Amino acid sequence: AGVGPVSVRVDCGDSGVGRKLMEAVAQWAADRKAVSLRLTQMASNLKSFSLYASLGYEAKVQVAMMQGYANAGVPGITVRLANTEDSDACARLHHRVTGERRDVQIAK
């Protein structure tokens, strides 16, 4: 199951709210028999990083958020929006590249 984004108000920092929230998320996932929980963490936020580590989460991969501008495209390449018929192929590609299964999320 994927988690997030999750935030705690700044004035609630160090109150245990984040821990309680993540414990509730873990229980919610367990109740639904989720095999694992996955979340994205900004490396610059050491407080939440150490919270997740103390709850048993392990850093698995690095993710870079990149932003750019749309351009006129690449000659000879056509890009279209994905549709429901693409779900299986996208799920297989994701599994081949990452070793993880996200079939349900991709299908949504």
C-alpha dist (Å) from residue 56 to 23, 28, 65, 82: 11, 16, 24, 35
Cα separation, 18 vs 21, whole angstroms: 5
Q: How far apart are CA 93 and CA 101, in angstroms?
A: 10
- Dump pLDDT digits (tens) for 52-82: 999 999 988 888 878 877 677 788 888 888 8
> Which amino acid appears at position 19 of this protein?
R
- For the domain made up of 1-67, give the CATH fold: Aminopeptidase (3.40.630)
Instruction: Look up residue 99 and give its two tokens.
Output: 């070793």
Nearest CA-CA partner of 26 in 71, 57, 68: 57
Reported as a single tens digit per residue, the pLDDT across 16-30 is: 999 999 999 999 999
Numbered ranges of CATH 3.40.630.30 in the chain: 1-67
At residue 59, φ and ψ (nearest 5 deg) are: -70, 130
Q: Which of the pair, 5 or 58, is modelled with greater confidence?
A: 58
pLDDT bucket at 38, cuts 50 / 70 / 90: confident
